[in-house]
Amino acid sequence: MDRKKAIEKATELVEQMTVEEMASQLRFDAPAIERLGIPEYNWWNEGLHGVARAGTATMFPQAIALGASFDEELLKEIGEVIAVETRAKYNESIKEGDRDIYKGLTVWSPNVNLFRDPRWGRGHETYGEDPYLISRMGVAFIKGLQGDGEYLKTAACAKHFAVHSGPEDMRHYFDAKVSLKEMWETYLPAFEACVLEAEVESVMGAYNRTNGEPCCAHSYLMDEVLRGKWGFKGHYVSDCWAVKDFHENHKVTGRPEESVKLALEKGCDVNCGCTYQKILSAYNEGILPLEHIKRSAVRLFTTRFLLGMFDKTEYDRIPYETVECKEHLELASKAARESVVLLKNDGILPLHKERIRTIGVIGPNADSREALIGNYHGTSSRYITVLEGIQDYVGDDVRVLYSKGSHLFLDREESLAKADDRLSEARTVAKHSDLVVLCLGLDESLEGEEGDTGNSYASGDKKDLKLPLSQIKLLEAVAETGVAFIVCMMTGSAMDLNFADERASAVLQVWYPGARGGKDVADILFGEVSPSGKLPITIYRDLEGMPAFTDYSMKGRTYRFLEKAPLYPFGYGLTYADTEITDLKAEPVDYHALPENGIKIEAVMTNRSAIAVEEVVQIYVHIKDSANEVPNPRLAAFQRVTLKPGKEQSVELTIPKAAFAVVNEKGERCFEGSGASIYAGFGQPDERTRELTGKEGKTLDI
């Protein structure tokens, strides 16, 4: 159904409603209107990396891990799977008369905020720190969720609009100050792509204010940009209980009725929360015009008609058996394998089980289901931890010894024991092993959304980059044994890996790899597949010189503005092969008359090893002689490729014209400078990447 027809149907239906009935439909938990044949509907559903909070579903790696795949097609396929399982579960739920929360077709995903500061607890819900990477992954995911059929398969939601990335404990009253240059250079590009390219059906406003106005009632962001410049036609939803913050925390209004008026006036169509229960009060007072209520009701029913909720659709026949089916689980495994990033390898990897008698598996995340799943997760019918993955892989051929080693963050496992009550066991296991796999990190109880799981630290944010003290002691104790060890870091954000980099034989960033991700980690450790993930974030050496968490300027943050060498750079990740970019060619162009369809380039690659591997070709651009250019080269194109053993091959990529634009102080994109430098590599063109890989990449100028 096209939007014009859906709007006509929605308008006709809304015209038959009383004011009270219209008002009721703007709540996230909209009640039935039986006389009009409208069933109840709960707008709130989640699908960040699988259908969430509604029972069993295929559980993919967390979003930050998907960002590490640098694989647009994978993200589209994952979106398609989530949409299919959402429909399958919805079809059965409504047959059972169950229209509860988390069971509808409006999926409040993806989170396309930029991971600007490593302390932000919700960063693992995002695709990383680069606007272009986030844009490409977000667009692909949304296209998968929404499909290309007669009706929307599900309605995706780009969140949280805009300029939002912590601190979590201040979000209800915080005002993010940002220049127009940084807004358009950093914070808006992903949302722009989601609206203009993916035609995302909904956008969710953030809790905080931006430059003085609350994001769920923002004149510039909502009126001028979203519906004005971008022509957004879908519906706008508040973050949960964000409208209540208008009067309780932001103090931009004095009471709920004024908050309702402001939100609806600016175009916030559905309220996740309870403040819109005051719509009728505001209307009866005469401060809220009927036209604002009706406008939002029409937008919401337009989405419901686009989803085919009042018609028979091709999706009604999707069977429940698609949930966690073999093909979906295989895709989750593929995603986990593509997401693991090998940060260091002194030659110990891949492991060969025929050369090992005993392997020690140690750490609070080694046998933790929580460390597999991240946040906003569903339920799996089976979980495979890293310990279980290793045990299953080696079978009876290798003895596996296990010690938890420490609590995730407390100083002891048993309340009556002395502090560090598992350290001696960890040392014993290490000393009795040929090598150790040490699984450290966090889980959603330590990093995530404020109040979401009773986060133990700074409302879900991190105070610093350090592991909990219990794990620092464990890491040091294992290192002191002198036994070779491999660190598997299971987190959704950058941690202090300096000690691990110095002392471990290998370091892998495993993220939160999904419900059965332990099997895929084991397969990578034992060389069944080569690691191929690339860092979608910077892993810093420390926070020295980084602006305060509350400072939204980008100075010193992320690879584009970094002023000192990181420990591990954005875009970096090793494989088990010796690969290199050996040539770079570009079609001849006039820099001052760039073609609208971008510039085609050809990267030539060589795999000198005897194994096939997947690599990610990355293209970076830097504009010469422009005061408006960001300090460091920025990602402009990428493509995942399979490199055959001992072969040379080439790949053609297109650098979009927009990649050559810079943003001035007025927030305007412009083309300036004397030319551009284009770099192709398996990482970015910085000194640290060259130091870590021993490879140069190729550069050409236009």
Nearest CA-CA partner of 178 in 205, 225, 212, 207: 212
Longest dimension (CA), the chain: 80
The one catalytic residue in 239, 496, 520, 523 is 239
Q: Residue 609 in contact with residue 530, Cβ under 8 Å?
A: no
Burial (0-12, 13-18, 19+ Cβ within 10 Å), 468: buried
Q: 3-state DSSP: the chain helix, strand, coil percent, rounded to 5?
A: 35, 20, 45
635 pairs with which residues across the strands?
Answer: 620
Hey, what are 698's tokens? Answer: 């190729």
100 carries an active-site annotation:
no
Distance, CA of 287 to CA of 261 (rounded, Å):
7
Helix (H), strand (E) at residue 328 = helix 326-339
Q: Residue 332 in contact with residue 60, Cβ under 8 Å?
A: yes
The DSSP code sequence of 229-297 is IS---SEEEPPTTHHHHHHHTS-SSSSHHHHHHHHHHHT--BBSSSGGGGHHHHHHHTSS-HHHHHHHH
**Own/partner pairs for 453-457, CB < 8 Å, 24+ apart?**
453/375, 455/121, 455/168, 456/409
Distance, CA of 202 to CA of 195 (rounded, Å):
9
Hey, what are 385's tokens? Answer: 């931890």
- List, by residue number, the catalytic residues: 239
